[in-house]
Amino acid sequence: MVKIPYYRIRRNEMAYWEPTPRMKALGFSNVPLGKDGPEAWSKAHYWNAEYQKARKLAKAQGIEAVVKTACPYGNGTLGALYWHFTRSEAFSRKSRAGKDDYRRAWRYLKPAFADTFITQISEGDCERFQIRMEQNHSGYERYRTMQVFRKLMKECVKRQWVKYNPATSLPNPMPRGRSAFWLAEEIATHILDAHEAGYTGLSVGLRIMWDTLVSPVDVRALRVGQIDGDLMFNAREKTRATAIFTLSPETIGAIDDYKRSLDFQLMPDAQLIRMRSGRIYKSKDSFAKDFRAVREISFKGDTRRMADYRRSGNWEAALGGASKADRAAMLANTLDKDAFLDATYTPINRIDSDKMYAKRNEGRSILLEQKRSGMLERITG
């Protein structure tokens, strides 16, 4: 006889986890565990552990606080899995971008599967969902959403809620890479229009992004104390290695003017780039929304993105003669085969940053000359 709290065996040796009324007040309900045996015992232990967490929280904060934050989805559904996983220690260790990917994907997964029992999600359901994503959204949205879907179903297998992952059988090809780019003169226009339209924080952020080629998420989260003179210090989002970047005199002047224009003083640990209201950008969606608003002012109907700044700067540097290794170090990506290790163990220094800046200026001149001669249009189509 195996004795597990709240574990009950009913007809046909089917097991259930049956919480008490007091436990149900914390948001728990009966859970079917399947046929009595080791697999059912493991699931019961999991739910007992979840109850203990809720009980301790109830004792520390009062039962009402726990009831308000109880899982809104039925036990055994994908919604319940998502709710519990996004509150787990494993999720808390993910990067900001990683967490945003889950929240973004959940906007599409929630209406489709939130209230569906995980054991009832079939390969056909996954395939139909993927087709709908392909038909109604971009290849990028489909790819990132299916990635998260697979990871959530993998977590279900890990927690022994299901025996296999029905989403892994579907191919999830990466979308075709973007080729859009910005010329330096277009970016200068974009930055000026942002400033004149009242998006002064965004304007400063775009200047920093163009000087350093860091990702939009790093610019949005930039702290005042990360800038010292004409240098910017930044911990890479993925590797956490510290990189050093050189800021142009124009950017330094714009930052100083921007800080003086605010109605409040920014402390060193405060977020630098802010909305027109003075509040911080809390998500990449709000940051991108303001970017698109200014883009429509500068180039009506344009579809280029902030991320295209990085490609454009990299192209300048490549035409100017910067090596793949130098560009991989600056961009913190996999331009060369050891980019991850290079970013981790040999972070870029001031000399590398100055060299990269000079190479980009050379490439910028080449691009401008090609545009004047009409060659650029023939190359890019």
pLDDT tens digit string along 141-163?
898 899 999 999 998 888 887 78
The predicted structure's pLDDT at residue 345: 31
* Interacting residues of 355 by C-beta distance below 8 A, sequence separation 6+: 322, 326
The predicted structure's pLDDT at residue 224: 93
Residue 130 DSSP symbol: H
pLDDT tens by residue, 234-279? 865 555 556 788 899 999 999 999 999 998 899 998 999 999 999 9
The predicted structure's pLDDT at residue 137: 87
Residue 236: helix, strand or coil by DSSP? coil
Contacts of 275-283 with CB under 8 Å at 24 or more apart are 275/201, 276/198, 276/199, 276/200, 276/201, 281/220, 283/100
Q: How far apart are CA 160 and CA 280, in angstroms?
A: 41
Q: In the chain, which residues have pLDDT < 70?
A: 1-2, 25-27, 58, 60-70, 176-178, 235-242, 329, 332-352, 377-381
Two tokens at 112? Answer: 């489709």
Instruction: Give rounded-to-5 percent helix, strand, coil for the chain.
Output: 60, 10, 35
pTM greater than the 0.75 cutoff = no
